[in-house]
Structure 1
Amino acid sequence: MASVISKEDWGIHKDHAVFLYRMENSTGAYVELTNFGASIVAVAVPDRNGHFGNVVLGFPQIKGYIDDCCYVGATIGRYANRIAFASFDLDGHHYDLKPNDGVHANHGGIAGFHKRIFDVKVHDEAISFHLTSTDGEGGFPGNLRLTVVYRWSEANELQIQYEATSDKKTILNVTNHAYFNLSGGKTDIVNHRLQVSASHVLETTEDYIPTGVLTPCSNPSFSRIKGLNHCYVLNEAGQNRLRKAALLRDTDSGRTLEVYTSYPGLVVYSGDFLSGNVPGYAGAPYRPFDGVCLECQYFPDSPNHPDFPSTVLDIEAVYSEQILYKFTVSPA
């Protein structure tokens, strides 16, 4: 049975209509999305006792997304994570981006997709969001056409498909920046249990720029003193193009999240810089460790590391990547 898709007006931003969409399956579990940043607004799934709770951070009104500075639930592009010194070379051309993280460019710089209004098409079993990023926007080459497709299954699986083309050789690295909290907002994520399918992690400088060295994984824990902001090198996929990236558990509620992806990397960010004055669903602004991001993507600063998996998108080539979130419940 296909999900039932509904739509409501959510406001106006810069003369563009903003909408809230819901995809609900026959069990009552649902996903809410908005065309502002092609963002995930809510994911409501049951705990082991059958009680539904929203397991992502978000805002009850569009103003929250307009004012948000932490990329909550948003589609990230053109380049997820950092590009060192906001510049890169491609085919003999030097490109300067707009820095927004000190001297570096982060999450697309000041022209990131997270604040853009996407066009929308509602299909029988999916919602697709469409955006054109013009040549030179944010300093990136090429007129880029991006499609983001969301599907919600009867088994509480959320699939995100990214497809893009460019009329000029460019770079691209798109992800989603959902913050997960499997307790349904009852507690923070410090006691969540996380397993990442990786044996190595990227070594970085203090400002999160990769050095190019891959180091063996240790067993870090969520700490209130210093959180996680690491890019893990995912283990190779089998015959299926999707590889398992992570398993996140909340033992109190029994909720479990499995993450699968076609991307080679997973950035685990424990939300230690979450801040702002915008009330979230509980009526108070979000604070550090209220949610954890599991960002499937290419490696940070890949354009400046020829030995990293390539993020180059050639003319007439099709960028095609996928993320799959599987929500289940474990017994007591």
Structure 2
Amino acid sequence: MKNMTGHISSKIWGETDSGEVIHLFRLENETGSYVEITNYGAAIVSVVVPDRYGRYGHVVLGFPQVSAYLNDNCYLGSTIGRYANRISNAHFELNGESYYLETNDGVNANHGGLQGYNKRVFGAKIKENSLIMSLQSEDGDGGFPGNLELEVIYDWSHDNTLNIVYKAISDRDTPANFTNHTYFNLRGSDVTILEHKLTVSAAEIAEAGDDYIPTGRIINAADLTFQNNLVEDKVKNTGNRITGVNTYYVLTDELIFKNRFAAELTDERSGRSLKVVTSYPGLFVYTGDFLAGDQLNHYQGKCVPFGGLCLECQHYPDSINRPEFPQAITGPQRPYHEFITFKFGLI
């Protein structure tokens, strides 16, 4: 690997069909634990940390070859934008104007449309011990207004904490909602995450229909409450298929310097844990029901339903069409600044 700067190194990993160069970066700490990130989709490719016996292993779904990312439709590890989650009918009105987005989820827009940020090659630079990814998103990109500049900043600490900061500014008001779409599997093998235990710091969820579009009501989480529960206890077997969790949780509003504890994921077998802290108001839990693919991942298996679990800190889904929700608008006078922290440890 070349271009060593502190604990960050990089190599050329491949290129897109149009010839854009794709790099792979490794952020490694003093213990030997590391994170790999590519500038294609500003995606987290791997996180390698020890289990309770000191054995190192992958704890996120990822691919060892760049070609798999070029053909991936499951957003593995990707940065999501311009708007994470769904916008109903791929349409919204803002400042008296109507906007129509790319549809890629029936009649709705999801995760930025067909050419969301997961399909973009980001600029990348190393500054001290930070990896900074940047993207210029033009006015009309995916149907969204405004020329938007986005930075995604990654830091990997000595205690196996990955901090992600999102900074953006637009020359026109625009809905904006960025998140990371990593699938976690703390077991470090190709088993499912159904035996993982999850705690979510939320008593309420955004009610949604069968198409996952919010109704506008915030309701008690009830049976979807996670308080150190096995994931398999929250899925439903309808006979035809197993339906998992695909739900937006409203995080308990306990802010300390804008930090919210969002969730904790644990795996008894490996002894690994993951704590999530964020500035975002909510967390979308997705148990990977629709994971699929023919490419082998780090565990030398194919991506299968429930092979990984996403903990996507983000703003409210479809908020632009739900005035009763807190809004997520970025503009010249409203710069975007949010963060997500993933801290890996042991139970």
1:109 to 1:195, Cα distance in 2 relative to 1, 3 A: same
CA distance in 2, matches of 1:260, 1:24: 21
SS of aligned partner of 1:20: strand
Report if aligned partners of 1:259, 1:326 keep a CA contact under 8 Å in 2. Answer: yes
Q: Does residue 1:209 correspond to 2:213, yes or no?
A: yes
Correspondences of 1:160-239 after superposition (within 5 Å): 160-220=164-224, 221-222=231-232, 223=235, 225-239=242-256
Question: Structure 1, residues 21-57: CA drift from partner, whole Å, max 9, x if none?
Answer: 0000000000000000000000011111111111000
Question: Structure 1, residues 66-92: CA drift from partner, whole Å, max 9, x if none?
Answer: 000000000000000000000001010
Report if aligned partners of 2:278, 2:341 keep a CA contact under 8 Å in 1. Answer: yes
In the alignment, what sits opposite 2:302? 285
Candidates 103, 110, 116, aligned match of 2:107: 103
Q: Does residue 1:303 correspond to 2:320, yes or no?
A: yes
Report if aligned partners of 1:58, 1:280 keep a CA contact under 8 Å in 2. Answer: yes
RMSD: 1.2
1:186 to 1:97, Cα distance in 2 relative to 1, 3 A: closer
Post-superposition shift, 1:186?
A: 4.4
In the alignment, what sits opposite 1:328? 345
Correspondences of 1:1-332 after superposition (within 5 Å): 4-13=7-16, 14-220=18-224, 221-222=231-232, 223=235, 225-330=242-347
TM-score w.r.t. the length of structure 2 is: 0.93
Deviates more, 1:149-158 or 1:306-315: 306-315
The one-letter amino acid paired with 1:170 is T
SS of aligned partner of 1:324: strand
SS of aligned partner of 1:110: coil
Structure 2: runs of 5+ lacking an equivalent: 225-230
SS of aligned partner of 1:150: strand
Structure 1: runs of 5+ lacking an equivalent: none
- The number of aligned residues is 329
CA distance in 2, matches of 1:252, 1:235: 29
CA distance in 2, matches of 1:190, 1:317: 41
Report if aligned partners of 1:6, 1:22 keep a CA contact under 8 Å in 2. Answer: yes
The one-letter amino acid paired with 1:134 is E
Post-superposition shift, 1:246?
A: 0.3
CA distance in 2, matches of 1:239, 1:160: 18
CA distance in 2, matches of 1:115, 1:215: 35
Report if aligned partners of 1:3, 1:154 keep a CA contact under 8 Å in 2. Answer: no
The one-letter amino acid paired with 1:11 is G
Report if aligned partners of 2:206, 2:219 keep a CA contact under 8 Å in 1. Answer: yes
Post-superposition shift, 1:215?
A: 1.2
**Quick one: percent identity of the two aligned structures?**
49
Report if aligned partners of 1:172, 1:311 keep a CA contact under 8 Å in 2. Answer: yes
Question: Structure 1, residues 120-179: CA drift from partner, whole Å, max 9, x if none?
Answer: 011111100000000001000000000000000001000000000001111100000000
CA distance in 2, matches of 1:21, 1:49: 27
SS of aligned partner of 1:42: strand
CA distance in 2, matches of 1:204, 1:83: 12
SS of aligned partner of 1:198: coil
The one-letter amino acid paired with 2:73 is C
Post-superposition shift, 1:3?
A: 5.9
The one-letter amino acid paired with 1:58 is G
The one-letter amino acid paired with 1:91 is N
Question: Structure 1, residues 287-329: CA drift from partner, whole Å, max 9, x if none?
Answer: 0000000000001100001121111112242100000001111
CA distance in 2, matches of 1:8, 1:67: 21
Report if aligned partners of 2:190, 2:307 keep a CA contact under 8 Å in 1. Answer: no
CA distance in 2, matches of 1:178, 1:66: 16
Post-superposition shift, 1:113?
A: 0.1
